[in-house]
């Protein structure tokens, strides 16, 4: 067996693990009940208009893709996890949105070079393990003069700190995988995209989350719905003292963030134009 074959097998196993993790629980409930406002923010920032060819990468259940379609875009929602796309199809039909849904790996998108006017991702591609591969694909499928738009949790914001809190209880990351919240640092995204984009607009903003009145409500909701949190708890399921310690740590994190029954979760809103002159 060659090294190339070994690497390919390892990558397929890693992607299968990611697909399984995001199918755990009920991520669409998180997207809709907790951070539903983010999709429309991204669509507005990208300036999606009628007739634009739009690709939402790591779209989940369509938190951004459906608003883009309702804004008149010709939209494809792509994601590694078919179960999330199934939920999105039903939600889109209920809302009268027409778009395509395709299973796709953010690191190897099955689309042509320059196929889209807008390529976007709402707290999605940040979870693909190999950041440069993902960034290269975002650029490749965006036409010259097109828009790349991303929303990513910052390392210093609530979700970034949640991942830091969970890290001691999680299994070690696979070789080569990079931490998701790095996408929330402007300098990291600029380095990934390089001189292939210009007109960068990067700003830190917050989304108000008023879904949880008490820290325990946040903890139990995420233990039941959010794939990464579920996976961490499964990793320590045979160690009740660790489970109790993580419970306390998440309660403390949420308690510090709750002010008058609400939290402000920080994210990076990053938009840029694909360098070069659009044909025609």
Take residue 165 and report the two structure tokens written for it. 């809190």
Residue-wise pLDDT for 90-112, tens only, equals: 999 999 999 999 999 999 999 99
Element (H, E) at 267: strand 263-274
Q: 181 is written with which tokens?
A: 């919240």
d(CA 103, CA 90): 16
DSSP 158-177: HHHHHHHHHGGGSPPPPTT-
The average confidence (pLDDT) of the chain is 95
How far apart are alpha carbons 25 and 122 in whole angstroms?
19
pLDDT at residue 2 greater than cutoff 50: no
Q: Pinpoint the alpha helices (H) of 50-103.
A: 65-70, 82-95
Average pLDDT over residues 37-66: 98
Coil, strand or helix at 261: coil
pLDDT tens per residue across span 191-232? 999 999 999 999 999 999 999 999 999 999 999 999 999 999
Q: Identify the DSSP state of 279.
A: P
Helices (H) then strands (E): counts for the chain? 11, 7
**Residues 36-41: what's their mean pLDDT?**
98
Domains of the chain, start order: 3-207+264-274 (3.40.50.150)
For residues 69 and 50, the answer to whether their CB atoms sit within 8 Å is: no
What pLDDT score does 116 carry?
98
125 and 57 Cβ atoms separated by less than 8 Å? yes
User: Using CA atoms, how far apart are residues 276 and 269, in angstroms rounded to an integer?
Assistant: 22
Phi, psi dihedral angles at 119 (to 5 degrees):
-125, 120
DSSP state of 30: I
| 151 in Cβ contact with 184 (< 8 Å) | no
Residue 61 DSSP class: T
What pLDDT shows up at residue 176?
A: 84
The values of phi and psi at residue 36, to 5°, are -60, -25
Which token pair is 5?
């074959």
Q: What is the DSSP letter of 197?
A: E
Query: Tell me: the pLDDT tens digits for 259-270?
Result: 999 999 999 999
């Amino acid at each position: 067996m060659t090294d190339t074959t070994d690497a390919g097998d390892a990558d397929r196993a890693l992607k299968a693990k990611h697909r399984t993790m995001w199918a755990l629980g009920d991520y669409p409930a998180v997207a809709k009940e907790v951070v539903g406002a983010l999709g429309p923010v991204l669509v507005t920032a990208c300036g999606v208009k009628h007739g634009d060819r739009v690709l939402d990468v790591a779209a989940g259940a369509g938190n951004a893709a459906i608003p883009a379609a309702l804004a008149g875009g010709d939209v494809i929602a792509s994601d590694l996890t078919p179960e999330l796309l199934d939920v999105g199809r039903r939600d889109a039909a209920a809302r009268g949105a027409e778009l395509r849904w395709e299973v796709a790996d953010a690191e190897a998108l099955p689309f042509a070079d320059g196929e889209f006017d807008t390529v976007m991702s709402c707290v999605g591609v940040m979870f693909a393990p190999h950041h440069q591969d993902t960034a290269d694909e975002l650029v490749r499928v965006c036409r010259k003069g097109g828009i790349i738009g991303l929303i990513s949790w910052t390392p210093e914001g609530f979700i970034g700190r949640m991942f830091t809190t969970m890290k001691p209880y999680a299994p070690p990351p696979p070789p080569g995988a990079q931490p998701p919240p790095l996408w929330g640092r402007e300098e990291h995204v600029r380095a990934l995209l390089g001189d292939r984009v210009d007109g960068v607009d990067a700003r830190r903003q917050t989304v108000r989350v008023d879904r949880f009145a008490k820290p325990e409500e946040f903890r139990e909701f995420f233990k039941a719905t959010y794939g990464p949190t579920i996976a961490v708890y499964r990793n320590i399921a045979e160690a009740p003292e660790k489970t109790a310690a993580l419970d306390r740590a998440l309660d403390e994190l949420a308690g510090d963030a709750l002010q008058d029954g609400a939290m402000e979760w920080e994210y990076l809103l990053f938009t840029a134009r694909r360098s070069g002159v659009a044909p025609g």
